[in-house]
Amino acid sequence: MEVTGAPSNDSKPAVEARLRDTCRVCDSNQLIEVLDLGRQPAANAYIAPGDLHLEEPKFPLTLNLCTNCGQAQLGHVVPADHLYRSYMFYTSTSQTMTEHFAQLLRTNVDEFVSPGGLVVEIGSNDGSALVTLLNDNVRVLGVDPSRNISVVANARGIPTIAEFFTGELAGEIYTTAGPADLIVGCNVLGHVDALDDVCLGLRTLLSESGAFVFEVPYLGDLLDRTEYDTIYHEHLSYFAVKPLAHLFDRHGLRLDRVEFLPVHGGSVRGTVKRGSGWSDQVAEVIDAEEREGRSDPGTFQAFAKRVGDLRARLVDTLVRYSDEGLQVMGYGAPAKASVVLNYCGIGTDLLPTVFDSTPAKQGMHVPGTHQPILDVSAVDEHGPDVLLLLAWNHAEEITRKEGWFLERGGRFLTPHLVES
Ligand code: DWN
Ligand code: ZN
C-alpha cells in the first residue's frame, strides 16, 4: 500500500511513502502500533524562502513494535532518495562528535587493521571521521548517499562513493579494493529499510579477522528519557541489543561486544565479527533488557502516554512565557526540532526564530512550522530570554559556547523540560 505525500502545486511528482507490514529484523507480521506522531514532513526537508507557499509532502509517522522479536520500528517508509540524496546534516558541526568519531577510529584501527589495510565507513557524511586516518598507513573509503555532502568529503581527500551501502556495492568494493579490516557505521543501521541486504554486504566485505563497529541510539535511553523527537522518517529502527544480536546471527555475523555511550541521547556501540551467536557479555545485556521489559507492549504504552504529557506541558510552558512577556527562540535546527515543533504544533507565534550553526540551514525554514533559521551569531542581537534547546544532545558543547547567554540571565530549556 502506498501513502501519498500531500499533493504539491509544484511541478515535481508527488513523493510516496510505503506502508511496511513486516518486521525489518525477523520478517514476522506481528506488528502493533504503539505511537502516532501524526503526519509530518521529512525532518531534514528545510524550506527555501521562495518555496514557503508550496504545499509540503507529509507522511504518517507511526511507531510499531514487533511482538515476535521486540524490534521497534516505523510503519511507513519514505523513499530513501527523497531523504538523503540532498542532505543538510554535517557531522562537522559538532566538535564533540568529531572528536568522538576520531577516538572510535583510532582505537579500532589499532585493534583490527593491519598496515595498508582497508577501512570503510558507511554513512561517512562529510568525512569528519575518516579524515583522522589520512596520515596513517591505511586505505580509507567512505560510502554515503548524499551527493552534496560526498562532494565535501571528496574535496577533503576522503574518497567517497555517493551511494547507499548494499550487498551489491559491497561486492564491487571487495572486487576493486579487497576485503575491509574495519567497517564503521555510526547512526546508519537505524536508517536502513533492507537490513538483510546491508548484513549481506557486511559479510561479503569483512576480512576474516575484521570487525564491523557500529553505533545506534539505544532504545532503552529513548524510552527512559522519553526522547520521542528522535523518532522521524529517517530513523526506521530503534534498537535494543536483543534484536540486533539475532539479526547479525542470521547473517553469519556475531555480536561480540557492546558498550553504552552518552552521545545522541544515549547510544550503543557494537563490535561484530564473522561467526554466529553472541558473546556472554551480550547475553547479559539481553537478559537485562528482558528484565527491564524493553519489548513489552506495556512499556511502549507508558512511553506514549509520557509523550502526550510532554507535548501538553511544553506548549503550556511556552504559552505561560509568552503571557509573562518572555521572548523564546530555538537553539539548533536538528531533524529533532522539526519533530518537536510539528508534533506540538509550535508555530512562529510561540517560537519566531531558530538559530543554527550549519551554513546550509541558515536562511532556510523549519519544515512544517516554518521558523526562519538564523546563524547562532545572531542570538545576542535578537535578545531572547529563553532558548528552547532543540539540539539538546549537544547541551554541553552549546552551553559552553554560549556561556555568555547564561551569564546575562538567559535560560535554556529542552523540549523535555530540562532547564539550565
Ligand atoms: O542520525 C542522524 C544524526 C546522527 O544526525 C540523522 N538522522 C540526522 C542527524 O540528526 P539531528 O539533525 O537530530 O542531529 P544533531 O547532531 O542533533 O544536530 C545538531 C544541530 O544543531 C545541527 O543542525 C547543528 C546545530 N548545532 C549548533 O547550531 N550549534 C550544533 C552544535 C554542536 C552547536 O554548537
Ligand atoms: Zn520482529
Q: How confident is the model at residue 14 (pLDDT cuts 50, 70, 90)?
A: confident
Instruction: Return the ligand number nearest the Cα of 65.
Output: 2
Q: What is the pLDDT of residue 8?
A: 43
201 CA → ligand 1 middle, Å: 28
296 close to 220: Cβ distance less than 8 angstroms: no
Residue 145 has pLDDT above 90, yes or no: yes
* Average pLDDT for 245-256: 98
- For residue range 80-131, what is the model confidence (pLDDT) as tens digits? 999 999 999 999 999 999 999 999 999 999 999 999 999 999 999 999 999 9
Residue 3 has pLDDT above 70, yes or no: no
Residue 7 has pLDDT above 50, yes or no: no
**Residue 280 in grid coordinates:** 556472554
Q: Which residue has the cell 559538532?
A: 94
372 CA → ligand 1 middle, Å: 17
Q: How confident is the model at residue 48 (pLDDT cuts 50, 70, 90)?
A: very high
- For residue range 313-371, what is the model confidence (pLDDT) as tens digits? 999 999 999 999 999 999 999 999 999 999 999 999 999 999 999 999 999 999 999 99
Residue among 223, 196, 215 at smallest CA distance from 100:
215
Which residue's CA is minimally distant from atom 19 of ligand 1?
Answer: 334
Question: Please, is 211 exposed, middle or buried when counting C-beta atoms within 10 Å of its C-beta (0-12, 13-18, 19+)?
Answer: buried
Residue 186 has pLDDT above 70, yes or no: yes
- For residue range 210-219, what is the model confidence (pLDDT) as tens digits? 999 999 999 9
97 CA → ligand 1 middle, Å: 10
Q: How confident is the model at residue 420 (pLDDT cuts 50, 70, 90)?
A: confident
Q: Which residue spans within 125-231 are E strands per DSSP?
A: 139-143, 160-161, 180-186, 206-217
DSSP 29: -
Q: How confident is the model at residue 9 (pLDDT cuts 50, 70, 90)?
A: very low
Q: What is the pLDDT of residue 67?
A: 98
Distance of alpha carbon 345 from alpha carbon 137, whole angstroms: 52
Residue 1 has pLDDT above 80, yes or no: no
Instruction: Return the ligand number nearest the Cα of 20.
Output: 2
Residues with CB under 6 A from ligand 1: 89, 93-94, 187, 234, 264, 332-336, 356-358, 361, 376, 391, 393-394, 397-398, 401
Q: What is the atom index within ligand 1 of the atom nearest the CA of 95?
A: 32
Q: What is the atom index within ligand 1 of the atom nearest the CA of 357?
A: 28
* Average pLDDT for 6-29: 81
User: What does the mean pLDDT of the chain come to?
Assistant: 96
Q: What is the pLDDT of residue 396?
A: 96
- For residue range 255-303, what is the model confidence (pLDDT) as tens digits? 999 999 999 999 999 999 999 999 999 999 999 999 999 999 999 999 9
Structure-derived torsion over alpha carbons of residues 115, 121, 126, 130, reported in degrees to the nearest 10: -20
**Residue 281 in grid coordinates:** 557479555
Decide: pTM greater than 0.75.
Answer: yes
249 CA → ligand 2 middle, Å: 14
Distance of alpha carbon 264 from alpha carbon 309, whole angstroms: 23
Q: What is the pLDDT of residue 2?
A: 52
Q: What is the pLDDT of residue 343?
A: 98
Beta bridge partners, 19, equal 76
Packing angle between helix 195-205 and helix 167-177, nearest 10 degrees? 10
173 CA → ligand 2 middle, Å: 30
The rounded percent of the chain whose pLDDT value lies above 90 is 96
* Average pLDDT for 241-255: 98
Q: What is the atom index within ligand 1 of the atom nearest the CA of 230?
A: 13
Residue 10 has pLDDT above 60, yes or no: no
Q: How confident is the model at residue 304 (pLDDT cuts 50, 70, 90)?
A: very high
Residue 5 has pLDDT above 80, yes or no: no
* Average pLDDT for 218-228: 98
b/e sequence 90-114, b meaning 16+ C-beta within 10 Å = bbbbbeebbebbbebbeebbeebbe
Instruction: Return the ligand number nearest the Cα of 69.
Output: 2
393 CA → ligand 1 middle, Å: 8
Q: What is the atom index within ligand 1 of the atom nearest the CA of 96?
A: 32
391 CA → ligand 1 middle, Å: 6
Residue 6 has pLDDT above 50, yes or no: no
